[in-house]
Structures are given as structure tokens and as C-alpha cells.
Amino acid sequence: MNLTIKNLVENKKYFDEVLNLIYKEWGNNNFEFWQSWIRSSMMENEIPMTFIVFCDDEFVGTFSLWRCDLQSRQDLFPWLGGIVVKENWRGKGIGLFIQKQAKDILKNLGFSKAYLFTEITGYYEKADWQYIGNAHNESNNIVNLYKITL
């Protein structure tokens, strides 16, 4: 399995596929919100950035690096977010690949730590993320906060 990533800003023809994948995962009658979110996450050498994940030449997922992914924690920066792997590609190590790629990019940009939030437990710890507590998301649900040292 030959996994690679490409920056969405350099591969705009995948914009709709990325948007549809993210909207399918998290959308809730807010298509324009996600469209704007992704469009504003298309920087080349600075955050926010969105990436496309390929297995050989097939689009299999996406992830982003953001200034803020959790409104209630404006004090934390940068964020790894928007991680989505197509359903038929899950369980093949692509999520771990994404995390490694994100860590490398952030390190090359000069960052020494990163954050993410999720409702799941037991997954990100496998890639050295440390649970640092809970927070509330925009829907007032409690989510798990994670930090990683790069």
C-alpha cells in the first residue's frame, strides 16, 4: 500500500470530494459552513492547511491543520482536525499514517506541540497523543482533548 499526501491548495480539483467526505461525516444542514471552512483552510506553507490522502492514485481520506478547531479552547494551537478516511479504507492504518504526516508537517513549520479533540477514546493514545482533559464543543457535548509533543 503506497500512501501519499498532497496539499489541497495545489490539487483544487479534489475540493468537492474533500468537502463531500467531510460533510458526510460531520454535516448537519450546514453545507455552506463546511464549504467555507475548507476553502479558508487552503494555505500553502502556513496554517490553516488541508491535505488529501491517496493510496496509489486513489483518494482515500483527508485531514487539516487549523488555528482553532475547538471554540471553547482558543488558548490551544495548532490543531490536527478534519481527519476522515473513506469507510471502505478504514482499519488499514491510514489514520496512523495521517497522524505521522501531520506531526512531520507541524514540526517542519516550527511547532513543538499540537492538539486534537474527539469523542472517542483509546485510539489516539496508540500514536503517542496524551489525554489532557475534557472540554465542551459547539453543541455543548463533552469531548476529549489530546496533546502531542513533536
pLDDT given at position 22: 95
Residue that the C-alpha cell 450546514 belongs to: 30
pLDDT in tens, 71-92: 999 999 999 999 999 999 999 9
Q: What angle do CA 21, 63, 94 make, to 5 degrees?
A: 90
With a threshold of 0.85, does the pTM exceed it? yes
Three cell numbers at 38?
475548507
CA–CA separation, 40 and 33 (whole Å):
11
**What pLDDT is attached to residue 28?**
86
Cα–Cα distance, 100 to 94 (Å, whole number): 10
The CATH homologous superfamily of the domain defined by 3-149: Gcn5-related N-acetyltransferase (GNAT) (3.40.630.30)
Residues in contact with 53: Cβ distance below 8 Å, sequence separation at least 6, in sequence order: 3, 4, 5, 59, 60, 61, 62, 63, 85, 94, 97, 98
Q: Which of 98, 102, 113 is nearest to 149 (CA)?
A: 113
pLDDT category of residue 1 using cuts at 50, 70 and 90 = confident
pLDDT tens figures, 92-149: 999 999 999 999 999 999 999 999 999 999 999 989 999 999 999 888 899 999 999 9
The average confidence (pLDDT) of the chain is 95
pLDDT value for 11: 96
Predicted confidence (pLDDT) at residue 7 exceeds the cutoff of 90: yes
